[in-house]
Amino acid sequence: MKTLSIKDIAVKAGVSITTVSFIINGKAKEKSISEAVIKKVEEIIKESGYKPNQIARSLRTGNSNIIGLIIEDISNSFFSRIARLIEDKAYKKGYKIIYSSTENDVEKAKDLINMFKSRKVDGYIISPTKGIEEDINALLADNKPVILFDRNLSDVETHYVGADHFKASYKSIESFIKDGKRKIALVTTDIDVEQIVERFDGYKQALIDHQITYSDELVLKIHFNQDETESIEEMKNLFLSKEIDAVLFATNYLAISGLKALKQLNKQIGDDFSVIAYDDHEVFELHTPSISAVQQPLEEIAETVIQLILNQLSSKAKAENQKVIIPAKLIER
Amino acid sequence: MKTLSIKDIAVKAGVSITTVSFIINGKAKEKSISEAVIKKVEEIIKESGYKPNQIARSLRTGNSNIIGLIIEDISNSFFSRIARLIEDKAYKKGYKIIYSSTENDVEKAKDLINMFKSRKVDGYIISPTKGIEEDINALLADNKPVILFDRNLSDVETHYVGADHFKASYKSIESFIKDGKRKIALVTTDIDVEQIVERFDGYKQALIDHQITYSDELVLKIHFNQDETESIEEMKNLFLSKEIDAVLFATNYLAISGLKALKQLNKQIGDDFSVIAYDDHEVFELHTPSISAVQQPLEEIAETVIQLILNQLSSKAKAENQKVIIPAKLIER
DNA sequence: CTTAAAACATAAAACGTTTTACTAATTCAA
DNA sequence: TTGAATTAGTAAAACGTTTTATGTTTTAAG
């Protein structure tokens, strides 16, 4: 059964293709098509189940009603939750989302941008890797809306939505200090992206502001994409070698590995050893004892992102670039 | 800066559009284009950064090199992990994946299928909801490859890949019984999909085979999409009202809610109260005490799914429908 | 009646490819 | 020297829409 085209509808209705097209696109009134014809055509469309070929439509109009979402890793719960929220909200406005993971691989990221570009997506939502500044700038030059989220790219002039990583990190450390901790470690990753750097800076600044000397030895940078068992070993070393009394994990997956390490060491979390994780996760709530975490306002981030991109899409005019920084919450457990 | 078209390349190279197209598509040899021309055109393409417009390509050829993946909920870790694996494997074969969540909403599922259809995706990977049998059959009639996974649809004749839910559930209950448990509860959902039914059947059969009378009162069916706090209350009731000594949770998110309920009740998991969760999750490994779980072989499922769909895509011939049932593993912790 | 304006409708170009069918030039065997 | 076969390349149709420019018919005013 061949799929129907607009032509079939036109023939069946005894009108021209143009007329059918106008009706489909709600321009019937404007183009003064008679009520009778409108009714007839609509009926035929309904009963035949005709659906316009979006590919042809895209080819002609140059847009697609699709927004491309590029994230680091869909299997990370922070991203999958955000993705779900964004998808939801976009869907309600008639936009579809297609998403794909970069795995923090610059080449793959570029590939994805190209793929989205050649599929003519209308706009881009990206949690960027370093190294794709040029590609993003090319999109902007091409007048495509781009919203960055989670991490900013300083060489790119566009909208950005993210949590206040510096402050969240700073506050976490401060809360340790209030509890009398002094040997505070940071476990972070070695990927050079802004939000990770900010978390590091927050850590450092909080120490300095409270007259605690910063020491490189208390900071463990885990290789991105490194095997988890290896990461766990490195953390065990850190936890054993120094008399650490608190540790901030800069991402949720690092915190999870850290908890595994502690479990293997049989080291209890409690009064003399505190932990805070960055990005909340079900694990932390259920853990015994439960684990404090920095909670990013996912809902709010998603909402803002969607808002910004829809604005861009509806108004041709290029709005002022906005950098929206949303406070994160420290959930003390 | 207008984006380049094949015509621009043709003009720049002083050859026809046809020639450029042949070269792009690797048909240069076959169509006897001279080495010199090939080299020249390739050079121009490279230095100009020309990328073919996939929309136009799709319109002409009727396919897209895109596989549509339809799942229940991308924020569920089972699905997001599977999605990541499938994406990965497809990517290596030159296929892109676009995915979207149905949220178990029949209308949304149909919508998605339509969207994918009008975007001319080459094949479909679907974890289906009941109620979309017709739509899937329409795809099949249209000669599109469809692979179902996680849950089968008995009214649809196509490939299926999933874990052996019946047996996994059966074994879980058996392991309880071996440990001397007799009052064994099941917490499941009320959505009527095959894999949930199988888990229920496995539970029931195991009881019967071991001369334990089945009782409706020990089975709690949680409303899908119901607020978590309410689910937790219902579970608390169950746990309090009967002298239950073991419970199997039919999905990982139910298990997580269940753990929260237990925590609120201050009920310890241990010798006199055992728990098994269906679908593993980081929470279970880290929980104190750690929680046994049925682990579906994600990697294997993803691999099989991709294998099947790629086979379908490359060979025009319709292969015999395969139902691949992969054993699941009970991780005893 | 005439005719300008309004109402209704359409033909055809364009979007950027792939592919079929064709032409022109060269080679080669007899 | 012919003409068949091979080599090298191209024109134009087709994919299914949207949209511009244009053409008819009807209405209403004078």
d(CA A129, CA A206): 27
> Is B45:B54 a contact under the CB 8 Å cutoff?
no
- Which of B78, B89, B97, B98 has the most A C-beta neighbours within 10 Å, making it the best mutation to test the interface with A? B98
Q: Are A267 and A239 in contact (CB under 8 A)?
A: yes
B208 touches strand C (CB under 7 A): no
Closest-CA residue to A81 (of A323, A235, A290, A281): A281
Q: Same domain for B146 and B72?
A: yes
Q: Are residues A171 and A90 in the same domain?
A: no
Q: Tell me, yes or no, whether B235 and B196 share the same domain.
A: yes
Q: Do A84 and B75 touch (CB under 8 A)?
A: yes
Average of per-residue pLDDT across A290-294: 94
Same-domain check for residues B119 and B138: yes
CA distance B88 to B91: 5
> Same domain for B172 and B290?
yes
pLDDT top residue among B90 and A169: A169
What 8-state DSSP symbol labels residue A128? P
Average pLDDT over residues B211-235: 94
Show the domain range for B218.
165-295
Verify that A103 and A202 share a domain, yes or no. no
Residue window 312-331, chain B: list those with CB within 8 Å of chain A.
none
Does B332 map to a domain?
no
Closest residue on chain A to B92 (Cα): A108
Instruction: From chain B, pick out residues whose CB is under 8 angstroms from the CB of A63.
Output: none
Q: CA-to-CA distance for A234 and A252, rounded, in angstroms? A: 17
Interchain CB contact of A287 with B (< 8 Å)? yes
DSSP H or E stretch at residue B324: strand B323-326
**Phi (first) and psi of residue B270, to 5 degrees:** 180, -145
> Are the Cβ atoms of B118 and A74 closer than 8 angstroms?
no
Whether the pLDDT of residue A317 is over 70: the answer is no
In the structure, how far is the CA atom of residue B18 from the C1' atom of nucleotide D11, in angstroms?
9
Tokens (6 digits) for A95? 């936009």
Phi, psi (degrees; rounded to nearest 5) at A96: -100, 150
Kindly report the backbone phi and psi dihedral angles of residue A163, in degrees, each rounded to the nearest multiple of 5, phi listed first: -80, 160
pLDDT of residue A1: 60
Q: Give A61 CA → C6 C1' in Å.
A: 30
pLDDT digits (tens, 9 = 90+) for B117-148: 888 899 999 999 989 999 999 999 888 999 99
A123-167 confidence digits (pLDDT tens): 999 999 989 999 999 999 888 999 999 989 989 999 999 999 999
In the sheet with B329-331, reading across from the earlier edge strand, the strands are B219-222, B184-189, B246-249, B274-278, B292-295, B329-331
Two tokens at A3? 């799929």
Residue-wise pLDDT for A103-129, tens only, equals: 889 998 998 898 888 888 999 999 999
Q: Which residue of A has its CA nearest to B99?
A: A98
Determine whether the distance from the CB of B21 to the nearest atom of strand C is below 7 Å.
yes
- Establish if A1 belongs to a structural domain: no
Residues A312 and A288 both lie in one domain: no
pLDDT of residue B320: 83
Q: A154 and chain B: CB distance < 8 Å anywhere?
A: no
Rounded-to-integer distance, Cα A20 and Cα A28, Å: 9
Q: Does some domain include residue A206?
A: yes
| B61 Cβ contacts chain D strand, under 7 Å | no
Task: Express each pLDDT in A215-249 by its tens digit.
Answer: 999 999 999 889 999 999 999 999 998 789 999 99
pLDDT at residue number B316: 64
One domain for residues A153 and A85: yes
Please report which confidence band the pLDDT of residue B317 belongs to, taking 50, 70 and 90 as the band edges: low
Whether the CB of A19 is less than 7 Å away from nucleic strand C comes out as yes
What are the C-alpha distances in Å from B164 to residues A31, B159, B160, B289, B293? 59, 15, 12, 27, 14
Tens-place pLDDT, residues A243-280: 899 999 999 999 999 999 999 999 999 888 999 999 99
* Domain at A236, CATH number: 3.40.50.2300
pLDDT at B193 over 90: no
Answer whether residue A58 is part of any domain: no
Looking at the structure, tell me whether residues A26 and A91 fall in a common domain.
Answer: no
Residue B211 clears pLDDT 70, i.e. is over it: yes
Count of domains observed in chain A: 3
Averaged pLDDT, B227-234? 96
pLDDT in tens, B48-66: 999 999 999 999 999 899 9
Compare CB distances from B81 to A3, A75, A100 and report the shortest one's residue.
A75
Residue type, A67: I
B110 touches chain A (CB under 8 A): no
Contact B51 A117 (CB under 8 A): yes
Q: Is residue B244 part of a domain?
A: yes
Residue B100 contacts A, CB cutoff 8 Å: yes
Is it the case that residue B46 has pLDDT exceeding 90? Answer: yes
Q: Are B24 and B45 spatial neighbours (Cβ–Cβ below 8 Å)?
A: yes
In this structure, are A187 and A274 located in the same domain?
yes
Helix (H/G/I), strand (E/B), else coil: B281: coil
- Residue B224: predicted pLDDT: 86
Tell whether B181 and B233 lie within a shared domain: yes
Report if residue A41 sits inside a domain.
yes
User: What is the Cα–Cα distance from B288 to A136, expressed in whole angstroms?
Assistant: 46
Residue A289: inside a domain: yes
CA-nearest residue of chain B to A114? B51
With CA atoms as reference, the chain A residue closest to B87 would be A100
Taking the C-alpha atoms of residue A131 and residue A109, their distance in angstroms, rounded to an integer, is 9
Residues in CB range of A211: below 8 A, 6 or more apart? none
Going B202 to B208 to B210 to B214, the CA torsion angle's sign is positive
Nearest-CA distance B259 → chain A (Å): 7
Q: Which residue has the tokens 């055509």?
A: A41
Instruction: Give the domain CATH number at A34.
Output: 1.10.260.40
Closest CA–CA distance from residue B140 to any residue of chain A (Å): 11
**Confidence band, pLDDT 50/70/90 cuts, at residue B1:** low
A104 backbone φψ class: left, alpha, beta (φ>0; ψ -120 to 50): left
Spatial CA neighbour of A328 closest among A78, A148, A99: A78
Output DSSP code: residue B288: S
Are B212 and B314 contained in the same domain?
no
Instruction: Let me know if residue B333 belongs to a domain.
Output: no
Q: pLDDT tens-digit profile of A31-72? A: 888 899 999 999 999 999 999 999 999 999 998 999 999 999
Using the C1' atom of nucleotide C16, identify the protein residue whose alpha carbon is closest.
Answer: B56
